[in-house]
Amino acid sequence: MSIIDNVLKEDINNPTSLKSVTAVLKSGVPHTVYKGSLHVNEDGDIVFNDILESSRINEALVNAIWFDKYITVNVLTEDKRSYEIIAKAKESITQGKEFEEVYKKLKKDRDFDLNAIWVIEPVEVRNESFDYRKKKQEEDYPFLKHLDRAVK
């Protein structure tokens, strides 16, 4: 059972949403890439195509698998709703039927190669939209205000 609900799935699968993946390189530096191919599959996992063999995100995701590290996926919708998904790199698909189908499509449509299809398992979803966070802060921390606002 996926922790991604239908509304968020639609947002992630919407081509107008901005989607990024962040993982930490061996050097300890976070690396973020934007992935237009990022989508939620029928199993509720997050999937994206990695085109370049030498990509730093590939290196960082392999590192995340080897050392059991978390990664993040961020989604910004056209209407400015924002989500952070804490996740684990689950699998790197580099052969087989699914790989061949995506490879052929990329080759035909864009003359791209395919390094891997990354499968990412969501662990936690955080709503980071400003309106949601502001309301939540006011409910959870009513005394976190500037003094001029508290004296009204």
Q: How confident is the model at residue 21 (pLDDT cuts 50, 70, 90)?
A: very high
Rg of the chain over all Cα atoms, to the nearest angstrom: 18
For residue 143, the model assigns a pLDDT of 73
Q: Which domains does the chain have, with CATH numbers?
A: 6-150 (2.30.110.10)
Query: In this prediction, what percent of the chain has a pLDDT beyond 70?
Result: 93
Which runs of E-coded beta strand occur in the chain?
18-24, 30-34, 39-40, 46-50, 70-76, 82-93, 116-127
Q: pLDDT tens across 43-62, in order?
A: 999 999 998 888 999 999 99
| CA distance between the termini of the chain | 47
| Contacting residues for 24 by C-beta, under 8 A, at least 6 apart | 30, 31, 60, 63, 64, 69, 71
